[in-house]
Chain A
Amino acid sequence: MASLNGITWSGKPKFQIRNPSYNSTNIYIDLAVGHVWRIDCANISGAIGNFTVQNVPSGTGIVSSFLLGLIQGPNPSTNYLNWLAMTNVKWAGGIRGVQPYQKHLINSAQMDSGDILIYSNGHYLSAPASETVGGPNSILPIRFTTTGTLPTGIALNTNYWSYYSSNMYFFPSTTVVASGEGGGSGTPITYVNGGTGTHYWHMYHHEKHQNIQTATDNAVDYLSFTTWDNGTTWYGTVVGRDIK
């Protein structure tokens, strides 16, 4: 392997684009054969939850990186890379890429001290009590959908935030939670009824907190991954979304 102590690119560096191998549970990136990778999500099935990078260069004082292009498939809510489960990849702000329009079941909408309390087992919104403004729990809006009628006080196509969350319960707030979940400074919604039908919530991504991958079929997104510790942790960043 060549080791260049400084290099000037007067000519163009070219990269062979490689296709990662994958199965129903794993995606494999082999750094021995490529730096730039691309996967067409139309070909995957289910939610792939493991991100395995093979042949990561190892040594003291080195940093390795690669690029991954994602082409969205026609069924992004069922066939996708489940970044939530890929805990070896870290994302800015901890925004781990809840899949677009991935619906989370609401087990029940209950009354707690007169306010609506949402019970949604494993809802992923939990965070340390010390979470401050800027964390995913306090500023990322969520929205609700239903097969029937939402609880009174909760509307479709409307942003809400969460506070006092555990991995099962959270209070919906009509305003951005000002001091994190532990601060309890959200604006609660008075409980009137639990509505009818089956209710769901999903992350709603606005301009500054977009999802990792664009939901539109054939949309192209490019991600960059860098490791500072020989592959134990990868720092993921979005190079470009919905590139046209």
Chain B
Amino acid sequence: MADLQRPVTINSAIIGKKGTATCTGTTLTIDIISGTYFELDLQNLSGDISTFRMENYSAGFPGGQSYTLKLIQSSTPRQFTWSSLIPQLFFAGGSAATTGPPNWHFVHIGGEHPYLSQENNAVNIMSIISPVTGDNSLRDVAWLVAMVGTDFQ
């Protein structure tokens, strides 16, 4: 992975890659090395999101990563069950990562759980920043979640 250690001047657009994301049952899954932007239609969910699965975690997982989720509300409104939701990391191949402490959790601005707009097809955009684990040792346990906006029209 490139490590730009000197200042770099950027004079054009910054393009991010859409990663692979799915939602089935009550699980939302993103492939965390496939991109930084994830677009999901919640229509395929059978209930509120009770599992947040992040796949292809690797030992080289650097700190301070940010992800942006674009979530399109389903005809039956879905929400995150933030009060019990934990980030679940999995290695390539599907085995659960063990480097994360059991008390990893999501935190929110002001402690208020972000709430998705209820309207069918409403666009909600959310930002998630991972804990800092730059040297692969725990520095933080909180995944920061901020709602960029709901119900874009």
Contacts and interface: CB of A to CB of B under 8 A. Distances in A.
B9 A14 contact: yes
A207 to B, nearest CB: 13
Nearest to B150: A92
A8 B10 contact: no
A34 B151 contact: no
Given A14-B7, A61-B35, A35 B2 contact: no
B4 A9 contact: yes
A31 B3 contact: no
Contacts of A93: 149-153
B10 A14 contact: yes
Interface in B1-17: 1-17
B62 interface: yes
B108 interface: no
B125 interface: yes
B18 A91 contact: no
A6 B153 contact: no
A111 to B, nearest CB: 33
B3 A8 contact: yes
A237 B8 CA distance: 26
Interface stretch (B47-55, B84-92, B115-123): B115-123
A228 B7 contact: no
Given A14-B8, A132-B119, A35 B153 contact: no
A10 B7 CA distance: 8
Contacts of A134: 117-118, 151
A92 B152 contact: yes
B118 A13 contact: no
A10 B5 contact: yes
Contacts, number: 119
Contacts of A228: 18, 37, 39, 70
Interface residues of A, number: 40
A155 interface: no
Contacts of B138: none
A211 to B, nearest CB: 15
Contacts of B13: 31-32, 35, 55-57, 64-66
Contact of B1 (A8, A31, A91, A226): A8
A63 B7 contact: no
A57 B13 CA distance: 8
A6 B10 contact: no
B37 A11 contact: no
A237 B15 CA distance: 18
A113 interface: no
A35 B1 contact: no
A7 B17 CA distance: 13
Interface string A5-47: 1111111111110000000000000011111000000000000
For the complex of A and B, 8 pairs with smallest distance between CB atoms = A92-B149, A94-B153, A31-B13, A90-B152, A10-B5, A63-B37, A6-B1, A61-B18
16 contacts: A6-B62, A8-B1, A11-B5, A15-B9, A32-B13, A34-B11, A35-B12, A62-B16, A63-B17, A63-B68, A65-B16, A90-B123, A135-B151, A228-B39, A235-B125, A237-B148
Interface of B: 1-18, 33, 35, 37, 39, 62, 68, 70, 117-119, 123, 125, 148-153
